[in-house]
Amino acid sequence: MAKEFGRNARVSSQMQKELSLILLRDIDDSRLGFVTINEVVVTKDLAVAKIYVTVLNVDEQGKRANVKLLNEMSPVIRHQLAKRMRLRHISELRFHYDDSFDTGMRVAELLSDVLKPFDSAQGKPLVESAQGKLLDSVQDKSLDSAQDKHDSDSSDT
């Protein structure tokens, strides 16, 4: 039976913690922005570690520049990592930009744009039907149908 958390998962988790501390405390480079390590993926043989990072408050060119700088500094970072981790061989470090944060922000922006139209008279959000007609919110429609059903039941008695 396989372990729930194999060696790769344990090594990558510890590597992520140590790398974040190294970037926070040991690397003093003014060209490096606010870097966050999102994920570390280590190959089965622990030879290569893909490190997914995000850089906040920079444009696309700044993101590429930060990732390039991290890849250039990877031997120094790897040496610092070797001092902190008890492994016989330390993985080769390859930094990649993780665009999942940017994608998530874009999706949230699109969703907020969809939900923006409000009916000013009722103060309720409008929902667009498949035919392109604006309807009151779905919840109000379901409440109206429940009320109609209740009214028809009470009139039968």
By C-alpha distance, which of 54, 48, 62, 57 is closest to 15? 48
Measured CA to CA, the distance from residue 1 to residue 18 in angstroms comes to: 30
Confidence at residue 57, expressed as pLDDT on a 0 to 100 scale: 86
Measured CA to CA, the distance from residue 43 to residue 50 in angstroms comes to: 8
Provide CATH code, domain 7-106: 3.30.300.20
Provide φ and ψ at 65, rounded to 5°: -65, -40
For the beta carbon of residue 87, count every other beta carbon within 10 angstroms.
13
Sign of CA dihedral 135, 138, 144, 149: positive
Report H helices in the chain: 7-21, 60-72, 74-84, 100-114, 138-156
Confidence at residue 144, expressed as pLDDT on a 0 to 100 scale: 54
Provide φ and ψ at 82, rounded to 5°: -65, -35
Provide φ and ψ at 14, rounded to 5°: -65, -35
By C-alpha distance, which of 57, 92, 45 is closest to 71? 92
Confidence at residue 20, expressed as pLDDT on a 0 to 100 scale: 95
Does the reported pTM lie above 0.85? no
By residue count, the chain amounts to 157
Tens-digit pLDDT string for the chain (157 aa): 456 778 899 999 999 999 999 999 999 888 888 999 999 999 999 999 999 999 988 899 999 999 999 999 999 999 999 999 988 899 999 999 999 888 888 899 888 888 776 544 445 555 554 444 544 544 444 445 555 555 555 555 4
Measured CA to CA, the distance from residue 152 to residue 146 in angstroms comes to: 10
